[in-house]
Amino acid sequence: MTDKIVSGKVAVLMGSDSDWSAMQSAVDVLAEFDIAYDVHVMSAHRTPGVVQEFAEKAEENGFSVIIAGAGMSAALPGVVAAHTTLPVIGVPVEAGALHGVDALLSVAQMPPGIAVAAVGIGSSGARNAGILAVQMMAMSDKKLADEVKKYRSKMAESVDKRNQILRRQLGLQG
Ligand code: RP5
């Protein structure tokens, strides 16, 4: 586990190590913002006891937000949410014959009363899960909130630069 300055930490869970190539994008964001994180493979179907124990102890173990990713019949985010009142962000991973659409529906279609914040399929969704976790932690951390604002400004500058490059290539003025 990483040891960082911002108080609180994020758990990044995934149903299989085969989910890592997508879930890595969530961890990349946490590292960019210097947020402490821990990563575990655990499965709602294959290791249900491990998932229950982790989720039940997550708050007392110092976690503030949980990101959970899984593919196919992706029960992990919902099962984690059932065993904790910490916010859970669910990432549908592209796996199997339906390429993540099955996981998207499993993650998004939670019964009323148990909430999972579902993001998009795959590594773009995992990146957004990381950003959402950072924004949640920034609610009680002014310095982190300023970093999120800087991130947004840099992104806008990059779009502006790419706009200018494309317009120049196309011979367009202004
Ligand atoms: C899901 O089944 C996992 O989250 C993974 O996306 C998918 C396939 O798992 P493996 O057979 O690759 O371990 O539970």
> pLDDT of 19-71, one tens digit each?
999 999 999 999 999 999 999 999 999 999 999 999 999 999 999 999 999 99
- Cα angle: 109, vertex 39, 88; to 5 degrees: 30
Q: What 3-state class would DSSP assign to 36?
A: strand
pLDDT band at 8 (very low <50, low <70, confident <90, very high): confident
User: Within 6 Å (CB) of ligand 1, which residues are found?
Assistant: 15-16, 18-19, 43, 70-72, 93, 95
Alpha-carbon dihedral of residues 82, 19, 138, 35, nearest 10 degrees?
120
Nearest CA-CA partner of 23 in 6, 44, 40: 40
- Cα of 94 vs centre of ligand 1, distance in Å, is 10
Q: What is the pLDDT of residue 153?
A: 98
CA of 79 relative to ligand 1 center, distance in Å: 16
Structure letter (DSSP) for residue 100: T
pLDDT for the residue numbered 173 = 84
Give the residue whose CA is nearest to atom 9 of ligand 1.
16
